[in-house]
Structure 1
Amino acid sequence: MRNPEKKTESRIVLTADGSSSVYNSDFDQHYHSIFGALQESQRVFIELGLQTAFERFSEITVFEMGFGTGLNALLTLLEAEKAQRPVSYTAVEAFPLPLDESRRLNFDQLLDSQFLPALHEAPWNERIAVSPVFDLFKYEGRLQDFRTENRFNLVYFDAFAPEAQPELWTPEIFEQLAAMLHPGGLLTTYCSKGYVKRNLQAAGFRVEKHPGPARKREVLRAIKLG
């Protein structure tokens, strides 16, 4: 369990597909798969999450647990631009990445983009327009303390792995997220452990297993019932 008094230490690393990630020595966790940060986010959150939401909903509201490197937000923004579909994006992050580290991430270079600095430099706890089709609200704090009257139709659940943050993979957390979702709303995550699936089901989700990215046999997509 992390000591909240200790300063988080992290460093930029390169993953197998050439995209950046961050290693957090405090949690002993990488922010993205070492087998490919970009392909993991593209598969788990864009293909299984956002693209399905585009098909099912007229308005797209996304909630992300774990803003981290900003990669999921960046990919979502680029998809919104490509499809010309407005997206309203909310993210919760308890341990923001220092700006000097965020500037060494290579996502903009790989994706021929220029939005990553704007995502990281956006003020906390204030909604801003990053592009004509993408607005962003970043909440600095714990998911357990986050409160909102807004409802979402898509959740990217990208917390550190259960062994590092077990408190974020409980039925109670998934119940909190279910309450924030519209009926039929989606939740996608890279973790397919059996008890994670059972905890999602206990919170009122129907859970699907889907083929994952490189070196990951399965990932989960959950649909809120009711």
Structure 2
Amino acid sequence: MSIEIITTADGSHSLRNSELNETYHSVHGALQESKHVFIKMGLDHFLEQHPDVSEVNVLEIGFGTGLNAFLTWQRSFETSQRINYTSLETFPIPEELWSKLNYAPDDRAKAGFVALHRAEWNTFVELTPKFYLRKIEQSLEDLTPPVESFDVVYFDAFAPNKQPEMWTQEILSKVSASLKRGGIFVTYCAKGQLKRDLKALNLEISTLSGPPGKKEMVRARKCSVFDK
């Protein structure tokens, strides 16, 4: 697999997979996209809706550069909740690439970014008392996540036209089943077929403003037992 580092419009790095002719993040700004889609509209929204929970269980589809995990780790210093972060990745990127990414603004952040990438695979690792990371080297096609186990799902697979097998009803059904009642699913994608598929799984769909360079994104909520 041929991968190269690129610089996106906000100055942050991303990667380009030349085989798929696809980038890991928006070329309009990798950092801006991840902060908007996954942190602001995902994690922060869940915490606003559930301020009294003591732990938040996050499932990420696509560890990739580690940017979403890194931003979530940073956010954990500002929240009262412990975050248990599970991320699936079929093709981990080598240290020669991730070590050159420019996401960390200072020495503490750099140490955290390195710890994320060097953490042992397939088991929970305590990076701080408030952030536990479990990276699983397996695809969602081959894995069935435990039912009603996650509060937030970051769905960050490659785009449907590049990786269609990750956007099928079967895959989305697994994700939906893994969400707790009241849990949320967020993704940068806003295609009509995705929204129809999520609605067919009885998720409540919200089409939201996207990050810079993208008009829309999707957030879906698994109905609570208290919903009418």
TM-score bucket of the superposed structures, by smaller chain? over 0.9
Name the structure 1 match of 2:76: 80
Give the counterpart letter for 1:72 in structure 2: N
What CA distance in whole angstroms lies between the structure 2 residues aligned with 1:127 and 1:46?
21
**121, 135, 153: which one pairs with 1:155?**
153
Tell me the matched-pair count. 219
Q: Is contact 1:175–1:204 with CA below 8 Å preserved after alignment?
A: no
Q: Give 2:94's aligned residue.
A: 98
Assess, with a 3 A threshold, how the Cα gap between structure 1 residues 110 and 223 changes in structure 2: closer, same or farther: farther
2:20 alignment counterpart:
27
Match of 2:10 in 1: 17
1:133 is matched by which residue type in structure 2?
K
TM-score by length of 2: 0.92
Percent identity over the alignment is: 43
Query: Deviations along 1:156-188, whole A, 9 cap, x unmatched?
Result: 000000011101111211110111110111000
1:70 alignment partner, one of 57, 66, 71: 66
User: Which residue number in structure 2 is paired with residue 143 of structure 1?
Assistant: 140
What secondary structure does 1:54 align onto?
helix
Q: Which runs of 4+ in 1 moved over 6 A?
A: none
Mapped contact 1:172–1:203 kept (Cα < 8 A): no
State the match for 1:3 in structure 2. Answer: none
Gaps of 5+ in 2: none
CA RMSD of the aligned region, Å?
1.5
CA contact (8 A) 1:20 1:37 kept: yes
Which residue of structure 1 lines up, in the alignment, with residue 131 of structure 2? 134
* 1:48 CA displacement: 0.4
Q: TM-score, normalised by structure 1?
A: 0.93
Q: Is the 8 A contact 1:64 1:155 kept in 2?
A: yes
C-alpha deviation, 1:147, in angstroms: 3.3
Amino acid at match of 1:39: Q
Which residue, 39, 49, 52 being the options, matches 1:46? 39
Q: Structure 1 residues 110 and 195, CA, compared in 2 at 3 Å: closer, same or farther?
A: farther
